[in-house]
Amino acid sequence: MESTLHPPGMRLSCLAAGIAAWTRVNKFCCLLVFLAASLLGSFLNAQELDERAIRVAYVYNLTKYVDWPSAGNQLVVCYVGDGPMGEALEKMLAGKTSESRLIRVVLSPNDDDLDKCDVVYVAYSSPLKVHATLDHLRNKSVLTLGDSVSFPKNGGMIGLVRVGQQVQMIVNLDAIQRTRLKISSRVLNLATIVHDGPEARN
Amino acid sequence: MKYGRLILVAEFVACLFSGWTLNAQSQSDPGAMSLSIEELTHAKVFSASKHLEDSRQAPSSVSTITAEDIRRYGWRTLGDALSSLRGFYTSYDRDYTYLGVRGILRPGDYNSRVLLLVNGHRMNDDVFDNAFIGTEFALDLDLIDHIEVVRGPSSSLFGTNALFGVINVITRHNVSGTSIELSGDTSSFLGRTGRLNTTIQKGQLSGIFSGSLYRSAGQPRLFFPEFASPATNNGWAVDVDGDRFEHAFGDLQYGNFRIHGLYSTRVKIIPTGSFGANFNDPTNRSTDSRAYVEMSYHRAVSLGDIDIRGYYDWYGFLGIAAFGGLTPPNRLVGKTFGGAHWVGTEASLNRQIGRHRIIIGADYEHDIRILQENDWVGQPASFVDRRQPSRAALYGEGELNLIPKLSIRLGARLDWFSLYGTSLSPRIAIVYSPDSRTTVKYIYGRAFRAPNVYENYYSDGIVLEAPTTLLKPETIGTNEVILERGLSSWLQVTVDASYNHLQDLIDQVPDPTTGLSHFVNVGRDRGRNLEVELEAKRTSGLAVRASLSMADTSNSTLLTNLENSPRKLVKINGTVPLSRFFFGALESRYISAQQSYQGTRVPPAFLTNATLSTGPALRDWEISASCYNALNNGRFDPAGPALEQPEIRQDGRTFLFKVSRSLSFEHSTK
């Protein structure tokens, strides 16, 4: 993920040494802080902490605040994409109930099965694949979720976006209003509202 | 460089270890599933313990004010927003806004007993420890994402100033790609604000830049009965209440690196004739400028989350006042300057060990220069004081989750000051959650505030003289019990009882031999507080919060009640969607009578504000109209020792109208 993009200890200690030289306050305490930083920086390794759990918890909560036009006994949550999010969804959601509907998680469904989903979590790294999925689901009463800023702008309904040290919702109201889904104002009050970008309007 | 070789060794060790990486491990946290959607949006409570957690589990009483709240209620200043919270109240002397917490607002204190942070960066300056909350606050409210308010002593993590609480203002993140936002408002007394906000997004690079201007002519005529004589315009201050600020803010993130900073300058004309200056003289003014730039790096590694930051800060105060009458030759113009430059750095590590968690950290700060100076225009400086203090600290907190429903936090911080020696601040918190809707917390904490250079060294020969003996840090010990319970899925009640014990409190006291006053560590104060709050949130969008705070404060040596200490605060506020397009918001606050610094009784005050604003259905436009003090109640705030007036009349009914428009540009995702 993003953490592999930075060569670790080198930059950290360069930054540390740079600041120390710049401030010219090379007191011992200052040095200790940066020495510790240099050492800690070398233990770098990709680790995702609770971010995925927070996203799954959002998915679970959102199923309570969205009304589907025809709600059956089951609530089908589908996952398409190439990241590790699907595993987390299955592990934490499958078998739970939401508004007395039993949640079933389907990983990587084919196009026909995609139509039977109530929720589709789209996590492709390729924008082309994201577009194709969204085109396929356009105007259908399927709640589409993604995790990038561009997702709701390109016609997805809700982006669960990492913002600093939080995960926030970005809702594309146009995309929801095109379908028969109804979303509670409780969600809208908490979310950043955006509208279709030029690509999604076509 | 003396330490150059050591750094090289560190580089070498770093390189050795850089190959040592462990497999990525995913930690699924089933606890997240029990959070409500509101709690998820604020899942990170950084101020309280610096890691991702539910605010109910935070080892303090935490309140969050969101951007949504600020917009719906039409709050203009940080002080407006804070005084909506239980236990908080403000006082305005037409120069600065002062914050009272749990019945304590010491006269002559520039909010040095709360710690104010912007994105975790300390805003209290190194001359006066100012925490600015009025129009002098350096950031536009439109840039705020949310404000975390942590009550109680927090020196065990944050060091000096965190006596009554920590206010961490978190700015908005760029979630709109590349965009431009324009905003303008107009308000009573020729008030107007213009703001331009741009966001950029390119690959991993994401940024926000904002600039704004504010001007207000202020009240055209103010009457102060204390000056009702022909020599002082019969008590009328005419066109001397102007207020203005300029703000700039920038925040740039690239991957795990972040650089953010701000610049602000604010000028307030002072109509009150404070510090013995000529009454009704347009020369009298305070100028406060503040700037900082901070670079930080955050990383989640196998050892835990690492945060490292380094910063440069600047603060400058310039007070100009005229004395001796409005006409020459007796008229003398005096200038007071207090300014500081400082640099600092902090590193912390936050690590999960099974169900337990620890945070350890260290910080260091050095003042390149602190200068206080007084001049009479055309004469050599009458007072100059230069200092170059340093401070350093080590801190740590452990979260022990030994049995499922009980969490214990133990923390301590050791601070060292080149001017005052060391201070230890421990804290223990026990958080018990018998079921998913109930939390009981017990907290004991000790916090301190080191005297600032203004209190220790400043002397103007008009109002203040320097203390005869060097001041020592003041301390507070707090015992607090909090019960939080969800009565239903939409109604929550909080009961909070606390006992504060202040020692060696630094107070401004008159010196009968010179007729001036100085700061001194005096006696002991104590405060007993009980707060009850009800919060309702319906799915329809209706949200109501009501609270009652009772404070009983006294000086244990003199056995008298403290000044500026209302015994009761009652607050109720609510927002409701009125149609698809509009939201209505109403808030009312009652502050019971207080005793002023001069010993007079300041009558109870009642305030009602109403705001109508547009909702998300209006797409890129945001429009709001507010009416403050809608019932036009007469209100007074107690004044400090620099003023002849025991109390200052506050504005009657005023209005504000605001429009924002955002223009968004699609950015390429390829």
pLDDT, tens digit, for every residue of B350-365? 887 877 888 999 999 9
Residue burial B380-406, b: 16+ Cβ < 10 Å; e: rest: eeeeebebebbbbbbbbbebeeeeeee
Task: Enter the tokens of residue A121.
Answer: 């979590």
Under a CB-based contact definition with an 8 Å cutoff, are residues B98 and B111 in contact?
A: yes
- Chain B hits for A189, CB-CB cut-off 8 Å, are 68, 541
Who contacts B249 (Cβ-Cβ below 8 Å, separation ≥6)? B139, B140, B143, B171, B208, B209, B210, B211, B260, B261, B262, B263
**Which chain B residue lies closest to A160 (C-alpha atoms)?**
B41
Under a CB-based contact definition with an 8 Å cutoff, are residues A67 and B38 in contact?
A: no
Who contacts A73 (Cβ-Cβ below 8 Å, separation ≥6)? A101, A102
Gap from B66 CA to chain A (nearest CA, Å): 9
Query: Tens digits of per-residue pLDDT, B527-560?
Result: 999 999 999 987 677 889 999 999 999 887 666 7
Query: Tens digits of per-residue pLDDT, B275-287?
Result: 999 999 999 999 9
Query: Tens digits of per-residue pLDDT, B178-215?
Result: 889 999 999 999 999 999 999 998 877 889 999 999 99
Nearest to B247 by CA among B168, B137, B173: B137
Is the CB of residue A132 less than 8 Å away from at least one CB of chain B?
Answer: no
Is the CB of residue B80 less than 8 Å away from at least one CB of chain A?
Answer: no
Which residue of A57, A84, A87 is in closest CB contact with B33? Answer: A57
Is the CB of residue B666 less than 8 Å away from at least one CB of chain A?
Answer: yes
Is the CB of residue A84 less than 8 Å away from at least one CB of chain B?
Answer: yes
Separation CA B322–CA B279 (nearest Å):
9
Residue burial B67-98, b: 16+ Cβ < 10 Å; e: rest: bbbbbbbbbbbbbbbbbbbbbbbbbbbbbbbb
Q: Is residue B226 over pLDDT 50?
A: yes
Give the residue carrying structure tokens 């950029």: B200
Under the banding of pLDDT at 50, 70 and 90, the label for residue B149 is very high
Q: What is the dihedral of CA B633, B636, B637, B638, to 10 degrees?
A: -160
- Identify the burial level of A4 via C-beta atoms within 10 angstroms of its C-beta, where 0-12 means exposed, 13-18 middle and 19 or more buried: exposed
What pLDDT is recorded for position B478?
Answer: 96
Separation CA B610–CA B585 (nearest Å):
6
User: Please, what is the angle between helix B4-18 and helix A8-23, to 10°?
Assistant: 160
With vertex at residue B423, the alpha carbon angle to CA B419 and CA B424, rounded to the nearest 5 degrees, is 165
Contacts A–B by Cβ distance under 8 A: 252
- Chain B hits for A8, CB-CB cut-off 8 Å, are 18, 299
Note whether A34 contacts B345, CB cutoff 8 Å.
yes
- Report CA-CA distances (Å) from B508 to A147, B419, B461, B628: 55, 20, 15, 34
- Chain A hits for B28, CB-CB cut-off 8 Å, are 52-53, 56, 88, 91-92
- Report CA-CA distances (Å) from B136 to B113, B342, B507: 17, 20, 24
Highest mean pLDDT among A30-34, B322-326, B615-619 belongs to B322-326
Under a CB-based contact definition with an 8 Å cutoff, are residues B270 and B300 in contact?
A: no
Per DSSP, B102 falls in state T
Looking at per-residue pLDDT, the higher value among B508 and B375 belongs to B375
Per DSSP, B644 falls in state S
Task: Enter the tokens of residue A20.
Answer: 């120390």
Q: Is residue B633 over pLDDT 60?
A: yes
Separation CA A180–CA B108 (nearest Å):
61
Average of per-residue pLDDT across B84-104: 96
What pLDDT is recorded for position B535?
Answer: 92
- Chain B hits for A42, CB-CB cut-off 8 Å, are 13-18, 20
Task: Enter the tokens of residue B369.
Answer: 């220069």
Q: Where are the beta strands (DSSP E) in B511-567?
A: 517-537, 543-555, 560-561
Gap from A124 CA to chain B (nearest CA, Å): 12
Is the CB of residue B355 less than 8 Å away from at least one CB of chain A?
Answer: no
**Which chain A residue lies closest to B363 (C-alpha atoms)?**
A33
Under the banding of pLDDT at 50, 70 and 90, the label for residue B595 is very high
Q: Which phi-psi region, left, alpha or beta, contains residue B304 (left: φ > 0; alpha: ψ -120 to 50)?
A: left
Note whether A164 contacts B36, CB cutoff 8 Å.
no
- Report CA-CA distances (Å) from B72 to B144, B169, B543, B607, B614: 14, 18, 11, 17, 9
Which residue of B17, B175, B345 is in closest CB contact with A149? Answer: B175
Under the banding of pLDDT at 50, 70 and 90, the label for residue B296 is very high
Q: Is residue A45 over pLDDT 50?
A: no
Separation CA B59–CA B444 (nearest Å):
10
Q: pLDDT above 90 covers what percent of chain B? A: 64
- Report CA-CA distances (Å) from B114 to B86, B106, B149, B265, B313: 15, 12, 10, 22, 19
- What is the average pLDDT value for chain B, to the nearest integer? 88
Task: Give the ranges where B421-554 is alpha helix by DSSP (H).
Answer: 453-457
With vertex at residue B149, the alpha carbon angle to CA B148 and CA B153, rounded to the nearest 5 degrees, is 130
Query: Tens digits of per-residue pLDDT, B108-128?
Result: 889 999 999 999 999 999 999
Task: Enter the tokens of residue B23.
Answer: 């497999």
Gap from A141 CA to chain B (nearest CA, Å): 20
Average of per-residue pLDDT across B657-667: 82
Q: Is residue A40 over pLDDT 60?
A: no
Is the CB of residue A8 less than 8 Å away from at least one CB of chain B?
Answer: yes
Gap from B14 CA to chain A (nearest CA, Å): 5
Task: Enter the tokens of residue B193.
Answer: 């604000």
Q: pLDDT above 90 covers what percent of chain A? A: 20
Helix (H, G, I), strand (E, B) or coil at B374: strand
Pick from B53-62, B496-505, B550-559: least confident: B53-62
**Which chain B residue lies closest to A89 (C-alpha atoms)?**
B28
What pLDDT is recorded for position B204?
Answer: 77
Under a CB-based contact definition with an 8 Å cutoff, are residues B409 and B427 in contact?
A: yes
Separation CA B82–CA B90 (nearest Å):
8
Under the banding of pLDDT at 50, 70 and 90, the label for residue A50 is low
- Chain B hits for A5, CB-CB cut-off 8 Å, are 204, 255
Q: Is residue A17 over pLDDT 60?
A: no
Under the banding of pLDDT at 50, 70 and 90, the label for residue B55 is low
Task: Enter the tokens of residue B335.
Answer: 């200038």
- Single-letter amino acid, residue B203: G
Gap from B313 CA to chain A (nearest CA, Å): 12
Highest mean pLDDT among B557-561, B612-616, B628-632 belongs to B628-632
Nearest to B152 by CA among B201, B88, B92: B88
**Which chain A residue lies closest to B537 (C-alpha atoms)?**
A186
Average of per-residue pLDDT across A8-34: 43
Note whether B10 contacts A38, CB cutoff 8 Å.
yes
What pLDDT is recorded for position A6?
Answer: 34
What pLDDT is recorded for position B666?
Answer: 55
Is the CB of residue B175 less than 8 Å away from at least one CB of chain A?
Answer: yes
Query: Tens digits of per-residue pLDDT, A157-178?
Result: 999 987 766 788 999 988 998 9
Who contacts B641 (Cβ-Cβ below 8 Å, separation ≥6)? B107, B108, B463, B508, B517, B597
Note whether A42 contacts B308, CB cutoff 8 Å.
no
Looking at per-residue pLDDT, the higher value among B651 and A45 belongs to B651
- Chain A hits for B29, CB-CB cut-off 8 Å, are 50, 53-54
Gap from A54 CA to chain B (nearest CA, Å): 6
Under the banding of pLDDT at 50, 70 and 90, the label for residue B75 is very high
Gap from A111 CA to chain B (nearest CA, Å): 24
Under the banding of pLDDT at 50, 70 and 90, the label for residue B44 is low
Q: pLDDT above 70 covers what percent of chain B? A: 91
Cis previous bond, B329, omega within 30? yes
Contacts 24+ apart (CB under 8 A), B532-537: B532/B493, B532/B494, B532/B495, B532/B496, B533/B86, B533/B493, B533/B494, B533/B496, B534/B491, B534/B492, B534/B493, B535/B491, B535/B492, B535/B493, B535/B494, B536/B490, B536/B491, B536/B492, B537/A186, B537/B38, B537/B490
Under the banding of pLDDT at 50, 70 and 90, the label for residue A60 is very high
Question: What is the separation of C-alpha B89 from the centre of its chain, rounded to a whole number of angstroms?
Answer: 12
Average of per-residue pLDDT across B433-441: 85
Average of per-residue pLDDT across B398-415: 90
What pLDDT is recorded for position B309?
Answer: 95
Helix (H, G, I), strand (E, B) or coil at B616: helix
Q: Is residue B616 over pLDDT 80?
A: no
B397 φ, ψ (degrees, to nearest 5): -145, 135
Which residue of A53, A184, A190 is in closest CB contact with B539? Answer: A184
Looking at per-residue pLDDT, the higher value among B3 and B157 belongs to B157
Pick from A21-30, A145-154, B299-308, B509-518: least confident: A21-30
Query: Tens digits of per-residue pLDDT, B263-277?
Result: 999 999 999 999 999
Which residue of A26, A47, A166 is in closest CB contact with B2? Answer: A26
What pLDDT is recorded for position A12?
Answer: 40
What pLDDT is recorded for position A164?
Answer: 63
Under a CB-based contact definition with an 8 Å cutoff, are residues B394 and B414 in contact?
A: yes
Per DSSP, B73 falls in state H
Question: What is the separation of C-alpha A70 from the centre of its chain, rounded to a whole number of angstroms?
Answer: 26
Under the banding of pLDDT at 50, 70 and 90, the label for residue B522 is confident
Who contacts B340 (Cβ-Cβ below 8 Å, separation ≥6)? B125, B126, B127, B313, B314, B315, B316, B367, B369, B370, B371
A139 φ, ψ (degrees, to nearest 5): 65, 5
Helix (H) or strand (E) holding B441: strand B438-449
Note whether A189 contacts B303, CB cutoff 8 Å.
no
**Which chain A residue lies closest to B34 (C-alpha atoms)?**
A57
- Single-letter amino acid, residue B358: I
Determine which of B53, B308, B422 to mutate to test the interface with A (most A C-beta atoms within 10 Å): B308
Under a CB-based contact definition with an 8 Å cutoff, are residues B281 and B233 in contact?
A: no
Under the banding of pLDDT at 50, 70 and 90, the label for residue B617 is low
Q: Is residue A42 over pLDDT 50?
A: no
Query: Tens digits of per-residue pLDDT, B442-469?
Result: 999 999 999 999 999 999 887 888 998 8
Separation CA B49–CA B358 (nearest Å):
10
**Which chain B residue lies closest to A196 (C-alpha atoms)?**
B666
Per DSSP, B464 falls in state B
Looking at per-residue pLDDT, the higher value among B445 and B517 belongs to B445
Task: Enter the tokens of residue A163.
Answer: 């913002």
Query: Tens digits of per-residue pLDDT, A78-118?
Result: 999 876 788 888 888 888 888 888 999 998 888 888 888 99
Average of per-residue pLDDT across B593-602: 93
Gap from A44 CA to chain B (nearest CA, Å): 5
Helix (H) or strand (E) holding B178: strand B178-187
Give the residue carrying structure tokens 């709690």: B39
Is the CB of residue A99 less than 8 Å away from at least one CB of chain B?
Answer: no
